[in-house]
Amino acid sequence: MSHELTRIHAAVDRVIADGKRGLLVTVVDTHGSTYRRAGARAVIAEEYTCGAISGGCVERDLALRKFEGFEPRLITYDSSGSDDIVFGLGLGCRGVIEMLVQPFDREHPPSLPPIPDREPVIWTTTFQGRDLLTEVLEPQRAIAIFGGGGDVEPVVTLARAVGWRVDVFRGHQMPDTSAYDAVVVMTHNFLRDVDVLQAVLAWAVPYVGLLGPKARGEEILAELPVTSEMRQRLHNPIGLDLGGDSPEDIALAIIAEIQTVLNRRRADSLREKEGPIHQQSSATAERSEPRR
């Protein structure tokens, strides 16, 4: 979520730089079905909103409220009733959202968690001496792409759209990729692929994807000392079976597979899932533990 937090920081800076007054809204607890979970944030200012805590209705309602002073306050929206009407709003989810609202301006900056760099950050949101929410904020995910063809750009575009940092290596560059969450090899050059995989598989990169048919991938692996653990991390052919064969189709399949692997999911259809759509987050888990 660090890319979202980066945008929240930028939005707060923008409101302050414009000399305006805004609201920093943090979801600190949820019950039942809600649009976002604990830890979601939004910045709401006059004619400007960044982030999302609902489908837009809660943000609009908060924007219309007149908050006097700069004291933080807890606000609860409850859409668990059968009529689904809350403060004149029709919320699409049957749940309860508890939020901390911090009015702010240049003289009264809000309390914001830092943006993680290379290591996770533990951040606790407090209110009147109480711990409302403890979050484990993960660093921004990073992906390394080896290749220079026209099919690289759609992968870069989609990866950045979901908030990942992307570095593209062309030619014979061989960086240390141990700091990356995923590596995509799409050089279209057999010997170059051999060299890249030999280096990358030796490092503990959680996801390594190789573009090309499985038979070609096996020929490349035959040139390398590969363990079963390395094979487990290697995805060849790369991507999920989504159909389509355009560069954009392939890029979508690649990014979807990386997301699936890093999140330890199976990429099943949600309509086949029993129970809640989302797993309990670390933030919610911390929040729901009894206080001693």
The tokens describing 49, both together, are 């909103």
pTM: 0.77
* Residue 185, beta-bridge partner list: 146, 210
Q: Which residues pair with 168 in a beta bridge?
A: 145
**37: nearest Cα among 103, 114, 96:** 96
Give span(s): CATH 3.40.50.720, the chain: 142-262
At residue 291, the pLDDT reads 28
Question: Quick check: 29 pLDDT over 90?
Answer: yes
Higher pLDDT, residue 48 or 292: 48
Contact by Cβ (8 Å): 134, 283: yes
Of 15, 6, 19, the C-alpha closest to 45 is: 15
**Is the predicted pLDDT of residue 262 greater than 70, yes or no?**
yes
Instruction: Give the pLDDT band of residue 1 (cuts 50, 70, 90).
Output: low
Report the pLDDT value the prediction gives residue 257, as an integer from 0 to 100.
98
CATH topology of domain 142-262: Rossmann fold (3.40.50)
Residue 37 — φ and ψ, nearest 5°? -105, 175
Which H helix or E strand runs over 23? Answer: strand 22-32
Confidence of residue 2 (pLDDT cuts 50, 70, 90): low
Res 119: pLDDT: 87
pLDDT in tens, 106-164: 999 999 999 998 789 999 999 999 999 999 999 999 999 999 999 999 999 999 999 99
